[in-house]
Amino acid sequence: MTCLRQVSANGHEFNCYDSGEGPTLLFVHGFPLDHTQWSAQFDELSRVARVIAPDLRGFGVNAAVEGTLQMSDFADDLAALLDALDISTPITLCGLSMGGYIAWQFWDRYRERLNGLILCDTRAKNDTEAVARGRLQLAERVIRDGFQTAGEDMLKKLLAPENQTELPHVAAQLLTVMTTTHRTTIAAALRGMAERPDMTERLGEINLPVLVICGSEDVITPAEEMRQVAAALPRATYVEVPHAGHLSPLENPGIVNGEIRAFLGSLS
Ligand code: MLT
């Protein structure tokens, strides 16, 4: 049975995983990936929740976009997607990395639609000037040369060193997704991430249950930084996932799925 459907929302078409019944758990993927980043969550968590995992605007098999994709644009898309799916009760949003940047914006604009947040391997801080400049340069390079070389470099940082060799099928699948993502979409998301707001001073306002998850070997958004984010959130629980890098839900699903299930249980 396929759980993929096409959904029209906010003037765009979205390829979207939708399976299960119960409270809604909305998964928001990282950069430059698609809904398959959550494939290790689907079977187990759709037994206890309605799991929704779209390809974000421009990503996966969705139509390419150009220009700049602000994190708030994605948040608006997600709210419209929930409307299109007739979901009006509060949801739990789980975002990884860029998905976490989007989660902050969803909270900022639609907090009444949330009963909880799960933030995986992400950060609250915005880019330094040097990092933002690097993203804009990479955007130009990707338009010109594609994402093959950048994708191979990024892959080395996405998975923990042992998982590069122990999970070869996962590494191969990630590289395929990254290198088949539309170049203009990659550039648009890079520009949007470079402009995203700093959320560090606002963490104290997020008065929701939050589960903060980080791979112990994450070199992109290190555990120490995520620990500080959790400490600044009024109602957060922090979980560090062993044998995992930046993609902890994919690298160590046993731990992550158990934590998400327990978190969902605590909300009901
Ligand atoms: C991601 O995994 O979404 C990216 O590493 C986010 C970023 O480049 O800041």
Tell which phi-psi region holds residue 201, choosing left (phi > 0), alpha (psi between -120 and 50) or beta: alpha
CATH number at residue 218: 3.40.50.1820
Q: Whose CA is nearest to atom 4 of ligand 1?
A: 31
Listed in sequence order, the residues at least 6 apart from 130 whose beta carbon sits closer than 8 Å to its beta carbon are none
Q: What is the C-alpha to C-alpha distance for residues 144 and 82, in angstroms, rounded to an integer?
A: 36
Ligand 1 atom closest to Cα of 221?
Answer: 5
Q: Which structure tokens are listed for 173?
A: 């699948």
Ordered DSSP codes for 89-158:
S-EEEEEETHHHHHHHHHHHHHGGGEEEEEEES--SS---HHHHHHHHHHHHHHHHH-SHHHHHHHHHHH
Domain coverage including residue 261: 4-267
CA of 33 to the centre of ligand 1 (A): 10
* 74 Cβ below 6 A of ligand 1: no
Domain count, the chain: 1
In total, the chain counts a number of residues equal to 268
What is the separation of C-alpha 91 from the centre of its chain, rounded to a whole number of angstroms?
16
Ligand 1 atom closest to Cα of 122?
Answer: 6
* 98 Cβ below 6 A of ligand 1: yes
Contact yes or no for 82/26 (Cβ under 8 A): yes
Confidence (pTM): 0.98
CA distances from 171 to 54, 119, 175, 201 (A): 21, 22, 6, 36
Ligand 1 atom closest to Cα of 99?
Answer: 3
* 45 Cβ below 6 A of ligand 1: no
Q: What string of pLDDT tens digits covers the 268 residues of the chain? A: 579 999 999 999 999 999 999 999 999 999 999 999 999 999 999 999 999 999 999 999 999 999 999 999 999 999 999 999 999 999 999 999 999 999 999 999 999 999 999 999 999 999 999 999 999 999 999 999 999 999 999 999 999 999 999 999 999 999 999 999 999 999 999 999 999 999 999 999 999 999 999 999 999 999 999 999 999 999 999 999 999 999 999 999 999 999 999 999 999 8
